[in-house]
Structure 1
């Protein structure tokens, strides 16, 4: 029987009958995708933060949520060169144990901050369509800052166990981005909670917003020009957010759950491992796709970008 120390980490362990290693696949996919996402995300989110924090930029609740989303994305993409270097060096970590924990922690902080900020944005836009004359606290700039702070505190605190090596799933700092097979059971229990609170509830909220927003817009007659612009931005926000969830977050959460359910090594598990690699890249791509949302849905963002381009 094979000693656990002989197993290759992060889904890649072998037995006498079948080879489960997909290191070569990860070393082809991850560096290219991570560096590509880093470049687009750094440029897109850096420019977005510059626009959002201009003194003349309108301080609306929508822009406040988007500011925080852009900061979260920029924080995450700054860790991607370290991830790319790890796989370029053949799954060997050279940056020390502390930075290893921070890089792992940042991935999940960004993912769930993004999910919650996108969900709140959809709710705000939904309320603007369905209840345009009511003053909700979630649409107030003061309460928008409080909600953003609450999201940061909740996600940072809930993700803090990942700063522990035992919870993060690695025992050897040189293999810090690879999951040790023995930790899959603990991570499956954690994943069950995160799946419901961090993905299913926000996803269902966005679907409800989308369905009811479409229903209201189909019933409404030709609105005034100002109202039409408001409806267009609201619908753009909800549709783009729904696309981001379907493209970036849904495949990753499904495949991560399936992967953690299987603890053994067989020919059937290899495609799941490879699909999870692709899904993790799609999840990371959220950080460079969010600026598309800002361009079409943020207040005055498009005008500011055009002004910078003319200059």
Structure 2
């Protein structure tokens, strides 16, 4: 009986940690992500007719983030309500689905954006069709369809009554074997291949910058934006996606129904929050690497506060 009692205590510790950690984290991500991505979408739409392919990918990335962020208050409420889901079966199915759709659309949008920026920098005239506005929307559509279809299996698992509560967002112990197979596929196709592609782009851009002298200011700006895009994308991968995919894999491989609440399980909880926080990093990408994003953002605030347009920078802080 002792192993079972120990397991029960460990599980209670794990649940307590989730109830303390998830609500605060999700609400912080919600506030910052909603402000950053909501404003970014507004800025992108203000100049939609003059958008470039890079901004098309950024707009789709921001929309993916905003759709996912809208689910976070429901997740926070679930843990604040002692892991009792009150919003019905269909919304429960959407919770896990939205998380993984956002994660892998973000990964693919960041990767494709970096590749397009790299191609436009190295071969700006020979690959105009690849970086065109129309091609960007077609590629975004393919990414949305592929990711949503691939994650559709998650819609099969909904809420479940357990004692006097209704659970959601919990690991189904009856499907651990299936989850392991899905994890391996997602690990290779959804993370390792994009991460490898992104790393190659970074190395090639560095090689170009070290090898070629670029006198024209416009080309210098092009190379700088390509480098910034790839660096921010790599930071997002290393900070948000790599820890989660690594520990999720270890968690499933070493998972034992007789024990829970150990350090690995707590680490998975933290890395899942980091994966969700990718939506807070992306607005920095738009600001530092978006096409004329800074100017568009300033124009929005000047339009809302025209008196600031008449002030000089040192005076109007």
TM (norm. structure 2) is 0.89
Aligned to 2:133: 141
Map Cα deviations across residues 65-119 of structure 1 (whole Å, 9 max, x no partner): 1111010000000000000000001111110001100111111110000000000
Distance 1:137 1:194 in 2: 30
CA gap of 1:172–1:186, structure 2 versus 1, over 3 A, is farther
CA gap of 1:139–1:219, structure 2 versus 1, over 3 A, is same
CA gap of 1:137–1:15, structure 2 versus 1, over 3 A, is farther
Map Cα deviations across residues 185-214 of structure 1 (whole Å, 9 max, x no partner): 210111111110000000000000000110
Aligned partner of 2:34 among 12, 25, 42: 42
Contact 2:40 2:62 (8 Å CA) reproduced: yes
Return 5+ residue gaps in structure 1 as ranges. 3-13
Deviation at 1:20?
Answer: 2.6
Distance 2:19 2:10 in 1: 15
Bigger radius of gyration: 2
What is the total number of aligned residue pairs between the two structures?
A: 297
TM (norm. structure 1) is 0.91
Distance 2:47 2:118 in 1: 28
Deviation at 1:178?
Answer: 1.2
Deviation at 1:123?
Answer: 0.1
Deviation at 1:134?
Answer: 1.5
After TM superposition, the structure 1 = structure 2 runs for residues 13-24 of structure 1, keeping only pairs within 5 Å, are 15-18=4-7, 19-21=9-11, 22-24=14-16
SS of the aligned residue for 1:163 comes to: helix
- 109-118 vs 298-307, greater mean Cα deviation: 298-307
Distance 1:80 1:268 in 2: 25
Aligned partner of 1:283 among 254, 275, 289: 275
Q: Does 1:224 align with 2:213?
A: no
Deviation at 1:15?
Answer: 2.1
Distance 1:241 1:233 in 2: 12
Q: Does 1:262 align with 2:254?
A: yes
After TM superposition, the structure 1 = structure 2 runs for residues 1-311 of structure 1, keeping only pairs within 5 Å, are 15-18=4-7, 19-21=9-11, 22-55=14-47, 58-165=50-157, 171-172=160-161, 174-264=166-256, 270-310=262-302, 311=305
Superposed CA RMSD? 1.9
Aligned to 2:312: none
Deviation at 1:57?
Answer: 5.8
Distance 2:10 2:144 in 1: 38
Distance 1:50 1:43 in 2: 11
Deviation at 1:277?
Answer: 0.6
CA gap of 1:88–1:247, structure 2 versus 1, over 3 A, is same
Return 5+ residue gaps in structure 2 as ranges. 306-317
Distance 2:136 2:161 in 1: 42
Map Cα deviations across residues 135-176 of structure 1 (whole Å, 9 max, x no partner): 2433111111110000011011111010001xx7x6448111
SS of the aligned residue for 1:91 comes to: coil
Contact 1:129 1:216 (8 Å CA) reproduced: no
